[in-house]
Chains A and B, each alone.
Chain A
């Protein structure tokens, strides 16, 4: 069965600092991987996705993620965090007619 693990429930970074959010997945076939962001009281916005090809994918808002098959990971990164990045981030793996989400990581940004 598919599963996604986000080991960090909360992360706090200083504004301007770099960010890495971890995601590990379990999936028997070629994974389709997603990162979504959710601001309080809002729906899910797609940050980026990986289907195939280049393992480093660029997304919106300056985010990028790297797919590492050997580590079953798809970590999200940003070189310089802005206060507006404070939100909850969900990693997900695509499966037939469903997305399997991780538990989410809440990002706090301190000034």
Chain B
């Protein structure tokens, strides 16, 4: 089945230690998104890639970066995690040009910062 895969499902990192979260997709969608979801809150869009074009949300901290080496993979890098960055990180994909904005989500990575 076509899907969105996130690895790892659970990640523990130390305060200030860089961490990378991974997302891959077999849907061949051209848009990939990263959301941050804190406990009991709605997902918050951090940024997205439209093909190779990176689009940052205005309020996304500089501490968060992303890479998309090819269509299938997208990475979220947190350069110096703080305690406030502990959250669920959701990856999603969509096919631009369909006009309906439907997004397909992965299972998420739960990040703990110690």
Asked if B31 lies at the interface with its beta carbon under 8 angstroms from chain A, I say: yes
Asked if B48 lies at the interface with its beta carbon under 8 angstroms from chain A, I say: yes
Once the chains bind, are A99 and B90 in contact (CB under 8 Å)? no
- In the complex, chain B residues whose CB is within 8 Å of the CB of A103: 41-42
- In the complex, chain A residues whose CB is within 8 Å of the CB of B90: 43-44
Q: Size class of B's contact patch? A: 20 to 34
Question: Assuming A42-B108, A43-B108, A44-B90, is B102 touching A101 (CB within 8 A)?
Answer: no
Distance, CA A44 to CA B110, complexed state (A):
14
Once the chains bind, are B107 and A42 in contact (CB under 8 Å)? yes
Q: Size class of A's contact patch? A: 20 to 34
A-B contact count (CB 8 A): 58
Question: Assuming A41-B110, A43-B106, A97-B55, is B42 touching A102 (CB within 8 A)?
Answer: yes
Chain B, 1-42, CB within 8 A of any chain A CB: 6, 31, 33, 40-42
Distance, CA A103 to CA B40, complexed state (A):
8
- In the complex, chain A residues whose CB is within 8 Å of the CB of B55: 97
Distance, CA A41 to CA B39, complexed state (A):
10
Once the chains bind, are B110 and A32 in contact (CB under 8 Å)? no
Distance, CA A49 to CA B22, complexed state (A):
28
Distance, CA A77 to CA B42, complexed state (A):
20
Which of A44, A97, A99 is in CB contact (< 8 Å) with B96? A97
Chain A residues proximal to chain B, CB less than 8 Å: 32, 34, 36, 41-46, 49, 51, 90, 94-99, 101-104, 106
Q: A32-B100, A97-B31 are in contact. List 5 more A-B contacts (CB 8 A).
A: A43-B106, A44-B105, A90-B43, A94-B101, A97-B50
Chain B residues proximal to chain A, CB less than 8 Å: 6, 31, 33, 40-43, 45, 48, 50, 55, 88, 90, 92, 96, 100-108, 110
Which 7 A-B residue pairs are closest in the complex by CB-CB distance? A94-B101, A101-B42, A43-B107, A44-B105, A43-B108, A43-B105, A51-B100
